Structure 1
Amino acid sequence: MLKTKFALVATLAAGLAAAPAFAKSPADQVAKLGKDLTPFGAEKAGNKDGTIPAWTGGITAPPGGWKPGAQYADPFAADKPTLTITAANAEQHAAKLTPGQMAMLKAYPTWKINVYPTRRSASAPQRVYDAALRNAATAELVEDGNAVKGAAVAPPFPIPKDGREAIWNHLLRWRPPVMKRVIGQAAPTEGGDFTMVQFEDDFLSPYGLPNATPETIGNRVTYLLQRTTAPARLAGQILLAHETLNQVAEPREVWLYNPGQRRVRRAPSTAYDNPGTASDGMRTTDQFDIYNGAIDRYEWKLVGKKEVYIPYNSYKLAGAADSVKPLHLNPDLLRYELHRVWVVEASLKGGAQHIYAKRTFFLDEDSWQAAIVDQYDGRGQLWRVSEGYGMNFYDLPVHSYAVEAHYDLQARRYIALGAIIPNYAYSFGASLTTEDFTPDALRREGTR
């Protein structure tokens, strides 16, 4: 039954992909949004087995007793696992696992997948839903798919016709327009030794601001100011990045402040497969936020939709003192649920260069956030598995990553970034403007 269902959905996706590459969504399809489909294009109904419930709006209010500024309380703390998948029973559940998950279970005897009841908790403000409906009627790919026009605030293509539109939904999904956060990053050795790196990040997203329109956004979609505050040998380093919409026409701009030299310098190319910041070579630049940046080096195929056990509602993981373990995050803190995902395959174009020859993305249908990505080397061997441990930040609300992790099956190491420190913090009420994200502002910040 599962194979038949997947084949039918894949056939539908193939038919949609055969439509003109730059066409906007037909009116009859747009009319389904908010009715049979959620405003973001997910199926409102549950599945036939009853293991995926209907979407009824997600989390619309914080848990009772929670106050803004406090660490996030788990709305589903009473839930218990309904299934635990290990190497011993993985084959019985392979239809709902990714190749990367199967490889992780085979490689690490200490790895397991605790499956909980599915809670379709993803939600967004009404203005974001309104924007998604507008985007569906007006958004289109331009510049050979390297940019999007006619969209703002929400995912641009709630009803995607091809793989490029689907991955743009991840890149331009609903995210906090203004955010400050305190997070950690750890890259343990195979034996488990690591030094925690701590960041204080400021974000500003003109794409998501309340007054954003397709005409006012321009080519700057995100600004990031990242301060390294620990360990002592790295403290004081600051990174400033301007994320552009069309990164082929105008690559992202990055500046670095070095406290030893007490000066700001323009960074060399920070894109594609260049090593990520302080990552010990465990992730590429375009693996920050699970995937970011230009899409021009790959051919993108929309395979279809599938039911997969993916990380979700990761409240237990956020802020846990014992989250970082040898080989992988502590599986007792991880929560997986059965959700429908869009499957997108990215294959490296002939003549293009990247350390990953193929990537398979599993995009959560309710939020368009990449939940899992399997990455393959030039020999076609599975190399790295990325998992995004999402949860609903219900004071906004937004479904976003609490933690993202990238597991290297060949090196038997991984890197984790996010709320892996007990003193993690997120704030969405800061007053930031583009003037806070200029090279001059970076100089003032560094020389205080």
Structure 2
Amino acid sequence: MRNQLVAAVTAAVMGLSGPVVAKVSPAEAERLNNELTPVGAERAGNAEGTIPAWNGGLATPPANWREGTKEIDPFPEDKPLYTVTRDNMDQYRDVLSDGHIRMLEQYGPEFFMPVYQTRRTAAFPEHVYEKSFENALSAELLDNGNGVRNTIMTSPFPIPQNGLEAIWNHILRYRGEEVSFRSASAAPQRDGAYNEVVNQYDYYFAYSQIGAELADIDNKIFYLKTETIAPSTLAGTITLVHETLDQVRSPRLAWRYDSGSRRLRRSPNLAYETDLPNSSSLRSVDQKDMYNGAPNQYDWELKGKRELLVPYNAYKLHDDNIRPSDVIRPNHINQELTRYELHRVWVVEAKRRVGIGHIYDRRVFYIDEDSWQIMASEEYNEEGELWRVSEAHNISYYSVPVFWTTMEMTYDLKAQRYYIDGLDNGYPAYDFDPGFRGNEFTASAARRAARR
């Protein structure tokens, strides 16, 4: 059956009112050195052999890749095992999300899903694995699950007990210590016409710094500065974000410099359901990175695990030889460039709390067991209708290593349009060692940069 769960984990989190003890016993944590991977996935493959055992992931880059260059496809000889289409999708309903079923129904035959051999490539540095084990023994949710304590560097709960722990694993997953890159976004019209918005992104992950302690990072997960490079009408716009750990106690800090007004202003509303800038109202702020920010507007339920076809190893979309015009098509991206694989995912359902005014009444997230990266999600409106479907296409970045998105998109089924982010084709490789200093991410530093 389509909704059959591989593992029946049904602990619901409803209105937590006090500190919740989430740490596991030493005996339970020891599973991370045995039947579970260091981040909490099942080491073994599935019974059918269609999901292989985890053997460390893609910890060593391909021999023909060179440091400082874009990641290349480590599996260039792979061909699709089969392709899921609108005509044959009934054969694969057990491994399709409701969102992908709807995409196939609405946009087939142009929308199809080429399915490749499953490659469990997610890998992280050894010191991240060590912290994952320590977090399992110590991490706890704060009051109402709005923050965490006794955790650092990476996902706090490698053996999650409920939906809040699972979503915090995504929010706090390891993405390196710092990174600088350039990419474009677009919101194509129904006919496929689009304009690119090019941004420079600079991240400093305070939470993931080697040697950092939770008491020393001033309640910050990361610092982010973006500068718009093109089009000329937006060029020079700067956004500065201080992402806080407990956003209810200390909300996200954000500033925006508009080149037209030449002033740096606080942006207190850059959160939750607010329209993501330059997304043509096709995506909310909290959908950036598939989900971000405080989880306090929803009740979270861990539904269990499923075997699901999800985007994975998206090296074709990351390829330096393609351009946005090769990717963007009417209604959806060019599916010839996509790669789907069968993976085990955690299923987490978020239901809007009574009295909350978010545009999404219910959301379903599919989280990769090997990385805690949200791979796909579904967003429902107040009438209970499936409104939007989101995907994250991921790769392993070899120089760290780290498993992270290269491209994300949200499909609006009613508007029959979509928003796409991460068009990094033609730009330099991600730099995971730019040498940032903390004082580069202050409001005064952003103000000085804007005036140059």
Q: TM-score, normalised by structure 1?
A: 0.96
Alpha-carbon distance in structure 1 between the residues aligned to 2:11 and 2:312: 30
- The structure-2 alpha-carbon separation of the partners of 1:349 and 1:2, relative to structure 1 and needing over 3 Å to count, comes to closer
- Please tell me whether residue 336 in structure 1 is matched to residue 340 in structure 2: yes
- Please tell me whether residue 69 in structure 1 is matched to residue 83 in structure 2: no
Partner of 1:218: 218
1:6-50 Cα shifts (integer Å, max 9, x gaps)? 26x22xx23697999433112221010021100100000000000
1:159-195 Cα shifts (integer Å, max 9, x gaps)? 0000000000000001121000111101100110110
- Please tell me whether residue 14 in structure 1 is matched to residue 10 in structure 2: yes
Partner of 1:144: 144
Residue 115 of structure 1 deviates from its aligned partner by 0.3
What pairs with 1:303-382 in structure 2 (closer than 5 Å)?
303-318=303-318, 319=320, 320-321=322-323, 322-382=326-386
- The structure-2 alpha-carbon separation of the partners of 1:356 and 1:17, relative to structure 1 and needing over 3 Å to count, comes to closer
What pairs with 1:218-367 in structure 2 (closer than 5 Å)?
218-318=218-318, 319=320, 320-321=322-323, 322-367=326-371
Partner of 2:175: 175
Conservation of the 8 A alpha-carbon contact between 1:183 and 1:198: yes
Partner of 2:105: 106
Partner of 2:85: 86
Alpha-carbon distance in structure 2 between the residues aligned to 1:326 and 1:362: 25
Alpha-carbon distance in structure 2 between the residues aligned to 1:68 and 1:447: 34
Conservation of the 8 A alpha-carbon contact between 2:228 and 2:235: yes
Residue 316 of structure 1 deviates from its aligned partner by 0.5
Partner SS, residue 33 of structure 1: helix
Alpha-carbon distance in structure 1 between the residues aligned to 2:360 and 2:386: 10
- Please tell me whether residue 51 in structure 1 is matched to residue 35 in structure 2: no
Partner of 1:415: 419
Alpha-carbon distance in structure 1 between the residues aligned to 2:424 and 2:387: 24
Partner SS, residue 361 of structure 1: strand
Residue 376 of structure 1 deviates from its aligned partner by 0.3
1:249-277 Cα shifts (integer Å, max 9, x gaps)? 11111111122222211113111100002
Conservation of the 8 A alpha-carbon contact between 2:11 and 2:302: no
Alpha-carbon distance in structure 2 between the residues aligned to 1:359 and 1:17: 15
1:279-333 Cα shifts (integer Å, max 9, x gaps)? 1111000000011001001000000000000000001011422011111111000
Residue 420 of structure 1 deviates from its aligned partner by 4.5
- The structure-2 alpha-carbon separation of the partners of 1:235 and 1:3, relative to structure 1 and needing over 3 Å to count, comes to closer
- The structure-2 alpha-carbon separation of the partners of 1:16 and 1:355, relative to structure 1 and needing over 3 Å to count, comes to closer
Residue 67 of structure 1 deviates from its aligned partner by 1.2
Conservation of the 8 A alpha-carbon contact between 1:183 and 1:425: no
The code of the aligned residue for 1:14 comes to: T
Partner SS, residue 91 of structure 1: helix
The code of the aligned residue for 1:47 comes to: N
- The structure-2 alpha-carbon separation of the partners of 1:361 and 1:15, relative to structure 1 and needing over 3 Å to count, comes to closer
- Please tell me whether residue 24 in structure 1 is matched to residue 29 in structure 2: no
Alpha-carbon distance in structure 2 between the residues aligned to 1:105 and 1:2: 15
The code of the aligned residue for 1:90 comes to: M
Alpha-carbon distance in structure 1 between the residues aligned to 2:2 and 2:239: 46
- The structure-2 alpha-carbon separation of the partners of 1:170 and 1:3, relative to structure 1 and needing over 3 Å to count, comes to closer
Conservation of the 8 A alpha-carbon contact between 1:312 and 1:391: yes
Conservation of the 8 A alpha-carbon contact between 2:69 and 2:428: no
Partner SS, residue 351 of structure 1: coil
Alpha-carbon distance in structure 2 between the residues aligned to 1:101 and 1:3: 14
Alpha-carbon distance in structure 2 between the residues aligned to 1:336 and 1:70: 25
Residue 219 of structure 1 deviates from its aligned partner by 0.6
Partner of 1:134: 134
The code of the aligned residue for 1:369 comes to: Q
1:401-440 Cα shifts (integer Å, max 9, x gaps)? 0001111001000011113532253101111122000111
Alpha-carbon distance in structure 2 between the residues aligned to 1:112 and 1:304: 27
Q: Which moved more, 1:215-224 or 1:248-257?
A: 215-224
The correspondence for 1:388, drawn from 392, 395, 416, is: 392
Partner of 1:400: 404
Conservation of the 8 A alpha-carbon contact between 1:219 and 1:244: yes
Alpha-carbon distance in structure 1 between the residues aligned to 2:261 and 2:367: 42
The code of the aligned residue for 1:385 comes to: V
Alpha-carbon distance in structure 1 between the residues aligned to 2:306 and 2:165: 18
The code of the aligned residue for 1:251 comes to: P
Alpha-carbon distance in structure 1 between the residues aligned to 2:380 and 2:432: 36
Q: Where does structure 2 lack aligned partners over 5 or more consecutive residues?
A: none
- The structure-2 alpha-carbon separation of the partners of 1:3 and 1:284, relative to structure 1 and needing over 3 Å to count, comes to closer
The code of the aligned residue for 1:50 comes to: G
Q: Which moved more, 1:257-266 or 1:150-159?
A: 257-266
Partner SS, residue 265 of structure 1: strand
Conservation of the 8 A alpha-carbon contact between 1:139 and 1:150: yes
The code of the aligned residue for 1:53 comes to: P
Conservation of the 8 A alpha-carbon contact between 1:361 and 1:373: yes
Partner SS, residue 255 of structure 1: strand
